[in-house]
Amino acid sequence: MTIEACELTKRFGGAVAVDALSFTVRPGRVTGFLGPNGAGKSTTMRMILGLDAPDAGAAFVDGRPYGELQHPLREVGALLDANAVHPARSALAHLRVLAASNGLGTARIGEVLARTGLTEVARRRVGGFSLGMKQRLGLAAALLGDPPVLILDEPVNGLDPEGVHWMRGLLKELAAEGRTVFVSSHLLTEMALTADHLVIIGRGRLVAESSTAEFLAANSRTDVLVRASDPTALAAALRTATVSVEPDGALIVAGLEPAAIGDTAAAHGIGVHELTVRRASLEEAYLQATEGVVDFRDDQNRAGYPTGHLTEHPAEHLTEEGNHQR
Amino acid sequence: MTAPTTGRALHAEWIKITTLRSTWLTACAAVAATLAFALIGYHATAHDWPKWTPGERASYDPVRAGYAGTFDLAVLALGTLGVLTASSEYGTGLIRTTFTATPRRAHVVTAKILVVGGLTLALGEAMAFTVFEVGQHLIASTGKQVTLTHPHVARAVVGSGWFLASSSLTGLGLGFVIRRTAGAVAAFLGLYFVARLLLGALGDTVAKASLPLVFQSISGINSPPPGRVLPSVPVAFAILAGYVVLSVGAAFVAVRRRDA
């Protein structure tokens, strides 16, 4: 079963939340739905589930609008908001309600409670649950109808490291069972570990749709930072590479291996003080993709992103791979 | 494959309402407070009867006496129960899970109407009959007690229970339309307790449409005292039905038109 979005558009007041968004989510793999907060991920998921009516376009599950599904919980399991439970109801009662609404046997309730590790707390009121436990309950609800399609909005939110690990394993397991698994996240690092395929959106528009490996390869960037006794002479010597000079005299060399740079410097009698391989972080690639950031040094409007503090020096965005000095 | 029946939605709504302790607390509080005030009232009437003037005795309505004022408590409790059945789902976000499980939203509204209506009708009739039976027993010494076979008595007793269920359904509709518990409860209280004053400013004919006067007409067996403007019994039932139809009808429109 596939999920298809065709030119989905949603406006809230004057603002366009989702803008002619089209993509296809296929079975048997985890598809990450990636974008910064406010990019329109949740709105898109709500439109797929028939909760929000699109202003234009349409979404289909297995070729049909969600509202036409005969037994929706047997076809699509959704987790949109883990807090969307009545706090005074027990986990068991919550699942009993959902099972009854779709004519699912009560036997499944025990199974999903066990699979999500909630068996022991099933009779406790949900109001006393941690966010992590609520995420597990939301997942239990999504799995209740043993659906071939799963739509999960930020399912690792609120999970402890062990829970995150468990969730990753579960998502891969579900995809390996042949299900269509569509998971949103604002963290590329998380998706890089879980998703086989990525649908990336920014400001409601499709930015990229490709396999995770292809996206990372296309968007990552490796260069070498070199500090030398005579930067100008070294820059001249490194004719085969692309070299730029930093304000403090450091050279940024792209297209040459560190060993080659070191050998060239040695051949010209130039002292090398520092030689550092820098790899563009996944988050940086993602920010570039979603924000359309072309200038690597443009640090405007980046506050609040999960890469943490960003300063004017581009090296801050990069992961150091160790020093090679000679 | 068959469509998920309203029966399934009904089953789900039944589990929802019965698995909340607040439902039972509200119901028990409503029953206990209403019965207590009604029966204390009957007891006091029997006790004070010798001191009453002939005029007071003549105008005493032995059925209405058990419901006047006391059923306001029940209206408050069961109306709030109706409001909460819808608004608590919007407040917690559960409504999105509900509509994901049952995309035909009208099925959800219908199921809630049947569950809330059925539950509050059972409670309302149980309260109305209990107040009536025990109350008449308490005022035996006054010679004013009546039985269900007396003219208008059965209508007044059954109608009083019906009024409670109708109030609750009006609250349910408001909950769907307004979505926020505080706002919907306020609107319900306004409709019940304040609207009479506002409508009164528009003249007696309009004031007759206010719920307290509708209830007064339905729950009494005596002719209204001179100078007292009340809707006739059939008109009162029609107005009551009008409140329910408007409120619940607005709920159907609201869930169809608005994003969840």
DSSP B57: H
Say whether A221-279 and A3-217+306-325 share the same fold: no
On whether the CB atoms of residues A179 and A172 are closer than 8 A, the answer is: no
- Please enumerate residues of B whose Cβ is less than 8 A from a Cβ of A: 1-4, 8-9, 11-12, 15-16, 19-22, 88-89, 92-94, 96-104, 259-260
The pLDDT > 70 percentage for chain B reads 98
- The whole-angstrom distance between A164's CA and the closest CA on chain B is 23
Indicate the pairing of strand A197-202 with strand A242-245.
unpaired
Q: Do B15 and A90 touch (CB under 8 A)?
A: no
Tell me what pLDDT residue B207 has: 82
Which pLDDT tens digit goes with each residue over A109-141? 999 999 999 999 999 999 999 999 999 999 999
- The residue of chain A nearest to residue B94, with distances taken between CA atoms, is A84
Which pLDDT tens digit goes with each residue over A242-263? 888 888 888 988 888 889 899 9
DSSP A125: B
CA triplet A249, A255, A259: central angle to 5 degrees? 80
CATH topology for A3-217+306-325? Answer: Rossmann fold (3.40.50)
Choose between B1 and A274: higher pLDDT: A274
CA–CA gap between residue A238 and residue A216 (Å, rounded): 28
- The residue of chain A nearest to residue B23, with distances taken between CA atoms, is A88
Which pLDDT tens digit goes with each residue over B5-14? 478 999 999 9
Q: State mean pLDDT over A187-214.
A: 91
CA triplet B6, B7, B11: central angle to 5 degrees? 115
Which pLDDT tens digit goes with each residue over A6-33? 999 999 988 899 999 999 999 999 999 9
- The residue of chain A nearest to residue B259, with distances taken between CA atoms, is A52
CA triplet A15, B89, A159: central angle to 5 degrees? 75
Q: Which domain holds residue B27?
A: 3-257
CA–CA gap between residue A293 and residue A287 (Å, rounded): 7
**What global pTM score does this model have?**
0.84
Contacts of A326 (CB under 8 A, 6+ apart): A262, A266, A272, A275
CA–CA gap between residue A222 and residue A224 (Å, rounded): 7
Tell me what pLDDT residue A303 has: 37
CA–CA gap between residue A281 and residue A257 (Å, rounded): 19
Number of domains in chain B: 1
Tell me what pLDDT residue B193 has: 84
| Best residue in A55, A94, A97, A150 for a mutation probing chain B (most B CBs within 10 Å) | A97
If we measure between CA atoms, which residue out of A56, A71, A76 comes closest to residue A5? A56
Band the pLDDT of A291: cuts 50, 70, 90: low
Band the pLDDT of A320: cuts 50, 70, 90: very low
The DSSP H or E segment spanning A84 is none
A298 has a pLDDT exceeding 70: no
Pick the CATH number of A221-279 from 1.10.3470, 3.30.70, 3.40.1130, 3.40.50: 3.30.70
Please report the DSSP string for A173-201 in residue order: HHHHTT-EEEEEES-HHHHHHH-SEEEEE
Show the low-confidence residues of chain B (pLDDT under 50): 1-5
- The whole-angstrom distance between A88's CA and the closest CA on chain B is 6
* Ranges of each domain in chain A: 3-217+306-325, 221-279
Q: Do A51 and B97 touch (CB under 8 A)?
A: no
CA–CA gap between residue A56 and residue A45 (Å, rounded): 15
Mean pLDDT for chain A overall:
86
- Please enumerate residues of A whose Cβ is less than 8 A from a Cβ of B: 46, 49-53, 66-67, 69-73, 76, 78, 80-81, 83-90, 93, 96-98, 100-103, 141
- The whole-angstrom distance between A79's CA and the closest CA on chain B is 8
The pLDDT > 70 percentage for chain A reads 86
Q: What is the ipTM of this complex?
A: 0.90
CA–CA gap between residue B8 and residue B114 (Å, rounded): 13
Q: Do A102 and B101 touch (CB under 8 A)?
A: yes
